[in-house]
Amino acid sequence: MVHSLEKCIKDIKNSKSIAIMCHTIPDADALASMVALKKLIKQNFTDENSPKLIDLFVDVDAEDISEINGAIIQGAELNTRHEENYDLAISVDCSSLSRLGKYAELFKNTKNNINIDHHVTNEKFADNNLVFVTSSTCEALYRIAKIYNLQISDEVCKLVYSGIITDTNNLTQGTITVNTHKIITEMVQRKISLDALNEHFFKNNTKSKAYLLKQALDSLTFYAGDRIAFMKLTKQDISDCEATVEDTYGIVNHGTEIKGVDIAILAIKQEDNSYQVSLRSKGDVSVSEIAVAMGGGGHDQVAAFHYEGLLTDMKEKLLPLCREELDKHPVIEKEALFDNSDVSGKSDQEKQ
């Protein structure tokens, strides 16, 4: 890893033009890692003598980026191609070449390319693949910056923090490690206003998103002895609620918040009648292999796939896979979380 990391840093130093891109239908981690990477490169590898052209690309319509995530890229120019051929292309937060959407071509055709990501299912599609098992791509970038002793500005910290909290549902899921907490400690020590970021990402839902959630909850159905919670939406629902595609993020988590539910599914019918399906799980139940079997990918507890065909056919394939996974993890009675036997009411004298 160190070797390829060194080569990446060298490539970044030596490139005069760089195209940074992330996956289509970008989430906060994808957008924040693009902007953070651009800032890191500008702050550490450029000056008047060695200017660099750094362009950001993401295959998405502007109206499909929510106000909340829009704040991340505000003022950062997107999708303007200033160069025909770039010296270097870097993809962030993207597990496969095809997820770059229409910019996959640009990535593939750039003579040097780097893939920085944290998805365990990453297909290592670049010349140089930096895939870290971390909470988020933002955390991976921060780690790289620390390894190379790069200058990390407060603004970069704010972006990194945003990527971490959004990819871990406010530190409640995903691959959170001691390192994740160390980074947050460093940010608290730097007196970065984390409260404002928490409020922005977690207490800032639009009315449209609330209506969309209502619509999704209306469709809630249970399977496998109530261990699977299934919800569906359509693109029509999204426009009826005046919501955006991004407003659908997080809705699937409401399924796993239900007692006894181990797998939550949200299927969103697209305009072409195909389905974008999100999967969530909790405990030891993993949805990553299920997503792969359905043609997608992701993490143990967070995964997704795209399905061409009818909803009934999709469910006929998906639900048995889920049941198979659930059979590997039978319901066991949960141990008491707290041990209060030492304060059970009887006085110590009585016990003797």
- The residue ranges that bind Mn ion (CB under 5 A) are 29, 93, 136-137, 167
Closer residue to Mn ion in complex, CB, 30/212: 30
Closer residue to Mn ion in complex, CB, 119/209: 119
Closer residue to Mn ion in complex, CB, 249/307: 249
- Would you give the DSSP letter of residue 274? -
Least CB distance from residue 70 to Mn ion, whole Å? 18
Least CB distance from residue 64 to Mn ion, whole Å? 18
Least CB distance from residue 301 to Mn ion, whole Å? 13
Least CB distance from residue 33 to Mn ion, whole Å? 7
Least CB distance from residue 167 to Mn ion, whole Å? 4
Closer residue to Mn ion in complex, CB, 93/262: 93
Least CB distance from residue 163 to Mn ion, whole Å? 7
Closer residue to Mn ion in complex, CB, 122/215: 122
Least CB distance from residue 136 to Mn ion, whole Å? 5
Closer residue to Mn ion in complex, CB, 11/93: 93
Closer residue to Mn ion in complex, CB, 137/286: 137
> Residue 76 contacts by C-beta under 8 Å, 6 or more apart in sequence?
34, 35, 38, 56
